[in-house]
Amino acid sequence: MAVGLGALQLLQPGVAARAQRWVTALATSSDRRIVQQLIALAGNLSPGRLEALGIGAFLYAGLFATEAVGLWLRKRWAEYLTVIATLTFVPVAVFELTRRVSPARLAALLLNLVVVAYLARRLLRRRPAA
């Protein structure tokens, strides 16, 4: 939710200018390379990409909130939703592997597939409540 709100807030000119000043100050005062790369990435996003990021973040948060409530209420559909939501990370891992093969990326894909297989197997073995 915070990513969605932040991305949509950056579409406003005053907020974007203030955020750019913070980005500049943080980037020069921080010696952490990852932080600087994330700041540079966020600072270079076009308004259309910021809007898409905001909407995507809200949809993602909504999916996981729905999943959480369903699991809390012990609904079977939420278990299926969990398997599907976990499965959505597989294409991202495959895409990353097509860009550059590394042990970490391969491990991420394999771990994701193992988790999906485990969840699906547990779900299919358990009989629905009558």
Instruction: Note the pLDDT tens digit of each residue in 45-92.
Output: 677 777 787 788 888 888 989 999 999 999 999 999 999 999 998 999
User: Which residues are within 8 A (CB) of 121 and not within 5 positions of it... i.e. 6 or more apart?
Assistant: none
Cβ–Cβ under 8 Å, residues 64 and 14 = no
Tell me the one-letter amino acid at 4. Answer: G
The pLDDT assigned to 80 comes to 93
Residue 116, pLDDT > 90, answer yes
Question: Higher model confidence: residue 1 or residue 83?
Answer: 83
Q: How many CA atoms lie within 13 A of 116 on its CB side?
A: 16
- Alpha-helix residue ranges (DSSP H) falling in the chain: 2-9, 13-29, 33-43, 47-72, 76-87, 89-99, 103-125
20-49 confidence digits (pLDDT tens): 566 566 555 555 566 556 656 666 767 777
